[in-house]
Amino acid sequence: MKAVESEMKRRRVLTRLLSYSRPDKRRWLWAVGLLMVATAGDVTGPYLIKRFIDNYLTPGHFPTSPLVLLSVIYLSVYAISAAARYIQAILLSRIALGAVERIRNELFAGILRRPLAFFDHTPTGSLVSRITNDTEAVKDLFVQVIATTIQNSLLIIGIFIAMALLDWRLMLVAVAIMPLMLAAMWTYQRMSTPIFQRARQLVSDINTRLNESLQAMGLIQALNQQRRFRREFDDTVDAHYQTRLRSVTLDGIMLRALMNFFDMLVLAGLLTVFGYHALQHVAEIGVIYAFINYVHRFTEPMVEMTQRLNLLQQALVAGQRIFGLMAAAPPTHGGTATPVTEGHIAVHDVSFSYDKVQPVLKNIDLDIRAGEFVAIVGHTGSGKSTLASLLLRFHRPDQGDIRIDGMPLAEMAEGPLRRAVVPVLQDPFIVDGTIADNIALGLPLTDEAIAEAGRAAQLDDWVERLAQGYHTPLRERGQNLSTGQRQLICLARALARQPKVLILDEATAHIDSHTERRIQQALENLRGRVTQVVIAHRLSTITAADRIVVLHQGEIVQQGSHRELLRVEGLYRHLYQLQEMAVSPQASVEAEAQK
Amino acid sequence: MSIFWRLGWFFRLERWRYGKAVLALLSVALLSMVPPRVTGWLIDRVQSHTLTGRELAWVGGGLTLLAVVVYVLRVFWRIWLFGASLRLSALLRERLYEHLSRLSPVFYQRHKVGDLMARATNDIEAVQMTAGEGVLAMIDGLLTGVVVLILMTTLISWQLTLVALLPWPIMAVFMYRFGNAMHRDFFQAQNRFGDLNDHVQEALSGIRTIKAYGREAAEGERFAGLVRSASEANLAVARTDGKYEPVIVVTMGASFFLAVSFGAWLITQGRLTLGDLTSFTMYLGFLIWPMFAFGWLLNIVERGSAAYERVQHVLNTEEPIADTGQRAAPEKVALALQVERFAYPEQSLCALSHIDIALTSGQTLGIVGPVGCGKTTLFSLLLRLYEPQAGHILLNGHDIAEYRQSTLRDTFAYVPQDSFLFSMSVADNIALARPDASREEVVRAAALAAVDEDIQRFSDGYDTLVGERGVTLSGGQKQRIAIARALLREAPALILDDALSAVDLQTERQILGHLREARRGITTLIATHRLSAVEDADWIIVLEAGRITEQGTHTDLLALDGWYARTHAWQKLEQQVHEGR
């Protein structure tokens, strides 16, 4: 029962994979048509030689013009067949690659539309593997399995047709071997699949062991366990060797040698039947010549198809995983498309937990006026970055609601929300491209608008010193820039969008004090025009805020201006003192290092 | 081709399998020549109407028997030849691993894991190809080619051979060029695939920005562009690949045409029979493989040579520090660390200087200081991963060079900050150094490291698997398991290298308390960022830029009012803030 079910499932996966090549219907028709032409040409060649042998050579009769005609036909058949074969191969590749392109694009677009929580739970490595390696396996399915199966089956059918036309009795000899060949293919599949699976498993075991050992060789040595690990590694390598030996043995018995064996059996059968026939009648020598030619073309396609069927298994497994990822429909957001004009944020009774067990935010109430500069501070794990995530709709609150200009955040359309509420995140994200590309990030901005944003982000005096200015390309995702420079580019990117609400989530965590002052200056210039929510670990950045909200374990414990909060004995004051003190021991280290 | 020389040791080692394989190949090559000849003979008999039923039975029976013999031979050479080449990869893999397990952490700092992995996997596979498919292409390709050519020229007609082979050089040229183009196109396709991979990595790592800026569609388009160029590169491969068959088809067509036309003329001249011509065209078909094998061989050898060199490079790397000590393992540990000067290889900056500390058996030494002050370096010298340029380290009064490396490792149970957990059960991870330890011992060690309760809460307790297919542990849990692992060794000295950094203060106190009870007589060295871990140490040193700037007991150091005192005050306040006060 289960086997039938999985067989059905596999068939569905295959059908769905194939359906991606449906838009290429015209190419399909052309490819198959040309393939038929090429196959016809392939099987015509030996037939023409047969005609030459039987009609002219055996009787010893050589009239000029029919012979010239025959030669011309023979040579043009090969030329046409070669051309047709080449073009159909390219067409089939195009169809295959087109289908894989569609699968890749749909998968990638689908994954990007997933909510952020999905990315928190799924390791990046496995997603990358789905998008690249699994689709590559599907590519192999199209290019290697499907294309060769079509080509080879047509060739075999063509050969049988030509044989039947020449001499149906001799054809039966060749046909008689087909069930044996198919049985061999089937048996090989049955027997090789478990061996291949085991070999693949062992390869992955070897790699895991090797990878872990290489990462932790120091530890293995410190524990004096080299010998044991080596023994275990050797055991895996030996097991793999034994398994591969079994697969080599199976290949040896079932694949090429066996097909060659059938080939020779057919030859023996053909010669016997032909000779037996010739004992009684006059035989056409050309017929046996053509048959021998045909039989030899059998072996290779059969071996090829048998071997490549293994790729099918892998591709189906990959396909299953791919469709599994495509399956879950991404949530659609509400359609309130009213633009944000003020930037007033109201957080009402919001609670949130990542795992539904450990609360991260508890009943947060916060009203941020349009144009207000609010800082949110707290020690590690206080929930301040989570609050920013909720404001950006990366996650949805479990309880309570957030409104912007009175509109519930959950019901806003993507466009106006992303236009109005813009963040600068902790890890500056730089794409390959110029500085201008990175500031625009897809928006159609003029050079002036980009320069304007650069100025506002205090970026311009650095950029102007570059030979190509804003058109300087950033390679390797900006690895050659300092974190501060990358962060200023990200700030310019945010400002270029002329947001109503600017959210800085630990944007100054890893940058030097010089850049920090620049960012402070940039923010100061926005005061009153743009609502600013600044999540900061370093308190020196936010002393100028209109209001500072102090979080502890998901709750607001203090609120007020820097001066007000410093005046009272409490968490903010201690946080501040802590950072003031941190400067002194650190400074002594830096001084020491410079000596 | 020198790769075959360099692999000579292996061919000698496997001389039996290779010898038998070559013999079988030779027999197959010779026996395969029979059917075409028999076919030709039969055709001539048919044409001259001299064929008898008895002869026909012999032909049918003989060919069937031959088919069986050839089949058996083909099966065996495959098993012998490829079996031998598989043995080479297993052997090289084991040797490489064995060698890698003798190289010290210093080597691993200079080589990336990914690069070493590539050598142990792809490179070894390429060498295996050389010893398997490469040998096949060289021996069988050459053998078949020579045998067929000899038969064609001697048995049938050298003139016909010459004429029929006229188009072949053209095919050879094309094949060679396609081979090169294929190599290049394939490389390009790999690169485009790499780009695709990079872009997906990039996009997924910046998913927050992409979402916050509503860039999903634009990123999708950028991806589609890369997918398109990957397709283009693959199409280039398909274009080259697609040329092989037409060229073979056309050349063979032309070759057959020439053979049959010229052969027909020879027949009319009475210098050839129709049977000969049939045999001849069958032989012609046998020549495709040697042709192909040659190009293939060049490719395999090129890749194999480069790969073998890379593997040998690792195998030839030697350890700079000699391991010639003789002394027996000590039961107690008294230490004298006298490091006058130490700099890392190829660096002028002193990593440690003027260190002089003595520690009697059972004492605890605390080492503190800012990041990069030399704490871990000091331990590296103690474990003899490096040797100081001036000074020495004495264990019970003897230079540590007088002990074997394995003895030193058994003497010092070292716990690093980032400990590695293997994909095995929690219990196996703890019992890593003592696989024979009983479950009770494992649990006792875990309890001492205050991780027992955590483990009990896992789905399968101590048998829970760690890693990708199992449970993911927090940094603090990992550290505590590493400590349990070290405690189980019952070594006379324990080194904690910032090994409690991810554990909260309360648990740290609990663990240190357990240690104090359990480790009577055990010499302990604790390096830490958090001063609370060394408050009870017998002696504390403050390292700054590789030098001791303050030392004494906790009380002494507080009174000094230096780095230690300042850091202590700061950490106290931090703890207060952490508690929300």
Which tens digits make up the pLDDT trace of A198-224? 998 999 889 889 988 998 888 888 888
d(CA A156, CA B336): 83
Would you say residue B488 lies in a domain? no
Q: What is the ipTM of this complex?
A: 0.88
Residue A530's SS3 state is: coil
How far apart, in whole angstroms, are the C-alpha atoms of residue B262 and residue B163?
Answer: 8
The CA distance from B291 to B170, in Å, is 12
Determine the length of chain A.
595
Same-domain pairing of B180 and B117? no
- Determine whether B472 is exposed, middle or buried from the number of CB atoms within 10 Å of its CB (0-12, 13-18, 19+): exposed
The residue behind tokens 């005061």 is: A527
Q: What is the 3-state secondary structure (H, E, C) of A422-477?
A: EEECCCCCCCCEEHHHHHHCCCCCCHHHHHHHHHHCCCHHHHCCCCCHHHCEECHH
Helix (H, G, I), strand (E, B) or coil at B357: strand
Residue B287 lies in a domain: no
List C-alpha distances in Å: A275 to A280, A286, B51, B52.
9, 13, 8, 9
Each domain of chain A, given as residue ranges in start order, spans 13-327, 345-594
Decide: residue B76, CB within 10 A, 0-12 exposed, 13-18 middle, 19+ buried.
buried
Q: Mark yes or no for CB contact A93/B83 under 8 Å.
A: no
Contact A196, A243 (CB under 8 A): no
Q: Which residues of A touch B483 (CB under 8 A)?
A: none
User: Are B142 and B20 contained in the same domain?
Assistant: yes
Is the Cβ–Cβ distance between B144 and B290 less than 8 Å? yes
User: Are A278 and B46 a contacting pair at CB < 8 A?
Assistant: yes
The Cα A466–Cα A477 span in angstroms is 18
Half-sphere exposure of B500 (CA within 13 A, CB side): 25
Interface of B with A in 419-478 (CB under 8 A): 419-420, 422-423, 432-433, 435
Structural domain contains residue B352: yes
Quote the tokens at residue A131.
């998008």
Residues of B in contact with A116 (CB under 8 A): 207-208, 211
All residues of chain B having their beta carbon less than 8 Å from the beta carbon of residue A244 are: 86
CB contact under 8 A, B197 and A108: no
Which of B156, B184, B199 marks a domain boundary?
B156
Q: Are residues B43 and B142 in the same domain?
A: yes
Look at residues B327, B329, B328, B333 and name the one whose alpha carbon lies nearest to residue B492.
B333
B252 & B369 share domain: no
User: Is the separation of the CB atoms in B546 and B351 below 8 Å?
Assistant: yes
Domain identity same for B190 and B255? yes
**Amino acid code (one letter) for A238:** D
Q: Assign residue B569 the CATH number of its domain.
A: 3.40.50.300
Q: Do B238 and A143 lie within an 8 Å CB cutoff?
A: yes
8 Å CB contact of A289 and B278: yes
- B 501-530 → A contacts, CB under 8 A: none
- The per-residue DSSP string of A501-518 comes to EEEEESTTTT--HHHHHH
Ordered alpha helix ranges (H), A113-225: 116-121, 124-129, 135-140, 147-166, 168-215, 217-222
- Please report how many Cα atoms fall inside a 13 Å half-sphere around the Cα of residue B556, on the Cβ side: 11
Task: Give chain A positions within 8 Å (CB) of B489.
Answer: 223
Instruction: Report the relative pairing of strands A399-404 and B539-544 from DSSP bridges.
Output: unpaired
Residue B201's nearest CA partner among A288, A63, A431, A361 is A431
The answer to whether B491 and B331 have CB atoms below 8 angstroms apart is: no
Residue A243, φ and ψ in degrees, nearest 5: -65, -45
- Residue B244 confidence (pLDDT): 87
Q: Are residues B242 and B350 in the same domain?
A: no
Per-residue pLDDT of chain B (581 residues; tens, 9 = 90+): 789 999 999 999 999 999 999 999 999 999 999 999 999 999 999 988 888 999 999 999 999 999 999 999 999 999 999 999 999 999 999 999 999 998 988 888 888 888 898 899 889 999 999 999 999 999 999 889 999 999 999 999 999 999 999 999 988 888 888 888 888 898 898 889 888 888 888 888 888 888 888 888 888 888 999 999 999 999 999 999 889 888 888 888 899 999 999 999 999 999 999 999 999 999 998 998 888 888 889 888 988 999 999 999 999 998 878 888 889 889 899 999 999 999 988 778 888 999 999 999 999 999 998 877 888 899 989 988 888 999 999 999 999 999 998 899 899 999 988 788 888 899 999 999 888 999 999 999 999 999 999 899 888 899 998 876 667 788 888 999 999 999 998 899 999 998 888 888 888 889 998 888 876 788 999 999 889 899 989 999 999 888 999 999 999 999 998 999 988 988 888 887 777 76
Domain finish residue from B127, B156, B185: B156
Residue B44 within any structural domain of the chain: yes
Shortest Cα–Cα distance, B533 to chain A (Å): 19
CATH 1.20.1560.10 at A13-327, yes or no: yes
Between the alpha carbon of residue B565 and those of residues A125, A177, A545, B190, the distances in Å are 45, 92, 34, 58
Q: How far is A460 from chain B (nearest CA, A)?
A: 23
Output the 3-class SS for A561-577: CHHHHHHCCCHHHHHHH
How far is the alpha carbon of B198 from chain A, nearest alpha carbon, in Å?
9
Q: Which of left, alpha, beta for A60 (phi over 0: left; psi -120 to 50: alpha)? A: left
How many CB atoms neighbour CB B78 within 10 A? Answer: 23
* Cβ-based contacts of A422 with chain B (< 8 Å): 212-213
Rounded (10°) angle between helices B216-268 and B274-286: 150
Fold of A345-594: Rossmann fold (3.40.50)
How many CA atoms are closer than 13 Å to the CA of B297, on its beta-carbon side?
Answer: 18
The answer to whether residues B343 and B389 touch, using CB atoms and an 8 Å cutoff, is yes
CB contact under 8 Å between B227 and A229, yes or no, is: no
Distance CA A2, CA A12 (A): 15
| Rg value, chain A, Cα | 36
- CA dist A49 and A39 (Å) reads 17
| CB-based burial, B17-28: b 16+ in 10 Å, e otherwise | bbebbbebbbbb
Co-location of B409 and B357 in the same domain: yes
Mind telling me how many Å the CA of B169 is from chain A's nearest CA?
Answer: 19
DSSP one-letter string for B359-420? E-TT-EEEEE-STTSSHHHHHHHHTTSS--SEEEEEETTEEGGGB-HHHHHHHEEEE-SS--
pLDDT at A594: 36
Instruction: Give the whole-angstrom CA distance, residue B66 versus residue B37.
Output: 13
One domain, residues B376 and B497 = yes
Q: Are A374 and A549 in contact (CB under 8 A)?
A: yes
Give the full edge-to-edge strand order of the sheet including A399-404. A359-368, A345-353, A399-404, A407-408
In a domain, B69, yes or no: yes
Q: Are residues B194 and B85 in the same domain?
A: no
Which of B123, B156, B189 is the endpoint of a domain?
B156
Q: Both B144 and B211 in a single domain?
A: no
**What pTM was computed for the model?**
0.82
Q: Report B:59-118 residues touching A (Cβ under 8 A).
A: 59-60, 63-64, 66-68, 70-71, 74-76, 78-79, 82-83, 86-87, 89-90, 93-94, 97-98, 100-105, 108, 113, 116-117
Kindly state whether residue B473 falls inside one of the protein's structural domains: no
The reply to whether residue B56 touches residue A279, judged by beta carbons under 8 angstroms, is yes
**What is the CA A464 to chain-centroid distance, rounded?**
38
Please state whether beta strands A473-474 and A345-353 pair in parallel, antiparallel, or not at all (unpaired): unpaired
Which positions ≥6 away from A61 have C-beta within 8 Å?
A: A55
Q: Which of A218, A223, A224 sits opposite B105 (nearest CB)?
A: A218
Cβ contacts of A201 within 8 Å, gap of 6 or more: none
Contact A206 B274 (CB under 8 A): no
Q: Is A200 helix (H, G, I), strand (E, B) or coil?
A: helix
Beta bridge partners of B528: B368
The answer to whether the Cβ–Cβ distance between A211 and B117 falls below 8 Å is: yes
Residues of A in contact with B474 (CB under 8 A): none
Residue of A nearest to B189 (CA): A136
Say if CB A91 and CB A84 are below 8 A apart. Answer: no
- Say whether A425 and B209 touch across the interface (CB within 8 A): yes
Longest dimension (CA), chain A: 122
Is B231 an interface residue toward A (CB < 8 Å)?
Answer: yes
Q: Does B58 touch chain A (CB under 8 A)?
A: no
Q: Do B41 and B136 reside in the same domain of the chain?
A: yes
- Count of the separate structural domains present in chain B: 3
- Chain A residue with CA closest to B259: the answer is A49
Say if the Cβ atoms of B257 and A269 lie within 8 Å: no
User: Can you tell me the distance from the alpha carbon of B511 to that of B143, in angstroms, rounded to the nearest whole number?
Assistant: 73
List chain A residues with pLDDT less than 70.
1-4, 328-334, 476, 510, 582-595
CB contacts of A40 in chain B (<8 Å) are none
Q: Which of A65, A61, A55 is nearest to A289 (CA)?
A: A55
Range of the domain at B148: 1-156
Q: CATH number for the domain including B49? A: 1.20.1560.10
Residue indicated by tokens 């150094």: B433
The four Cα atoms B109, B114, B119, B122 give a dihedral, to 10 degrees, of 180
> How many Å apart are CA B399 and CA B362, to the nearest integer?
19
Give CA–CA dist B547/B374, Å, rounded.
8
Q: Strands A399-404 and A345-353, how do they pair?
A: antiparallel
Q: Do B212 and A104 touch (CB under 8 A)?
A: no
Residues B200, A128: C-beta atoms closer than 8 Å: yes
B264 and B136 within one domain: no
Q: Is B206's Cβ below 8 Å from some Cβ in A?
A: yes
Chain position carrying tokens 């293995």:
A220
Query: By C-alpha distance, which of B73, B33, B138 is closest to A252?
Result: B73
Residue B303 domain-assigned (yes or no) = no
Per DSSP, what are the bridge partners of residue B394? Answer: B336, B399
Whether residue B279 lies inside any domain: the answer is no
CB-based contact A273:A169 (threshold 8 Å): yes
Q: Is B391 left (phi over 0), alpha (psi -120 to 50) or beta?
A: left
